[in-house]
Amino acid sequence: MPKPYTFPTLYDDVLQIDITKLKEWGYLVHDRVKEGILRWSINGEEIGSVSIKVNMHTSLPYLRLNYNYRGEPRSYQVYLDPITSNLGKGVIWYFKCPVTHKRCRKLYSIGGHFLHRDAFKGCMYESQTKSKKYREMDKTFGVYFKADMLFEQLYQKHFKKTYAGKPTKKYLRLLEQIEMYESVPYPSIDLLL
């Protein structure tokens, strides 16, 4: 009898709360309490929403989550952990997972709770499910298929090409990838298609 297929849950496909986005949306402001609703949608159809409250006015800042999971109401706090920046300017915020007690920048919702990725067993990122042959091919020809994305990033409205008169690392990385794209011989691409 053959082994049954085991399809892992992919971190890329589940609901996520990213601390970078919370900062971008103005939730992580000193001595402030802000409430809102996070919504996730696919093709315009809402697949999930969470009511959040970020309290930065206490000695232990926290994020309070309120939502329903399969008809069951859920409400709990995730503490925020500030770490002084290595540049000496400001702090970098992290979530403190209520289960693993590890610091993280993203919380994943698998099984109804938003937690650190180590709290879940048998989950993977999509890139981990690719075969070795596919990854080798993607390393060689992947840049050819992602060329539009590279040029889109390069010509974004506020993309910084230089800082203090020197090219930025991101700009140099993009140029390197575009150079790889231009070096792919077209006959070899035709063989793939």
| Span 23-66, pLDDT tens digits | 999 999 989 999 999 999 888 888 889 999 999 999 999 999 99
pLDDT of residue 169: 93
Same-domain status, 119 and 144: no
133 falls in which pLDDT band (50, 70, 90)?
Answer: confident
Rounded-to-integer distance, Cα 162 and Cα 50, Å: 39
Same-domain status, 143 and 77: no
Rounded-to-integer distance, Cα 55 and Cα 31, Å: 8
Q: Find, among 38, 42, 43, the residue nearest to 16 by Cα.
A: 38
Q: Which two tokens stand for residue 174?
A: 């993009």
What is the number of structural domains in the chain? 2
pLDDT of residue 18: 95
Same-domain status, 65 and 155: no
Q: Find, among 7, 54, 64, the residue nearest to 31 by Cα.
A: 54
Same-domain status, 140 and 111: no
Same-domain status, 61 and 104: yes
Last residue of a domain, one of 99, 124, 149: 124
96 falls in which pLDDT band (50, 70, 90)?
Answer: very high
pLDDT at 99 over 70: yes
Q: Give the predicted TM-score (pTM) of the model.
A: 0.71
In a domain, 3, yes or no: no
Same-domain status, 101 and 135: no
Rounded-to-integer distance, Cα 170 and Cα 168, Å: 5
Rounded-to-integer distance, Cα 176 and Cα 170, Å: 10
3-state secondary structure of 81: strand
State the angle between helix axes of 132-145 and 169-183 in degrees (0 to 180), rounded to the nearest 10.
Answer: 100
Same-domain status, 79 and 107: yes
Last residue of a domain, one of 105, 124, 143: 124
In a domain, 4, yes or no: no
In a domain, 27, yes or no: yes
Containing structural domain, residue 55: 9-124
Backbone phi, then psi, for 68, in 5-degree steps? -110, 135
In a domain, 79, yes or no: yes
Average pLDDT of the residues in 70-79: 93
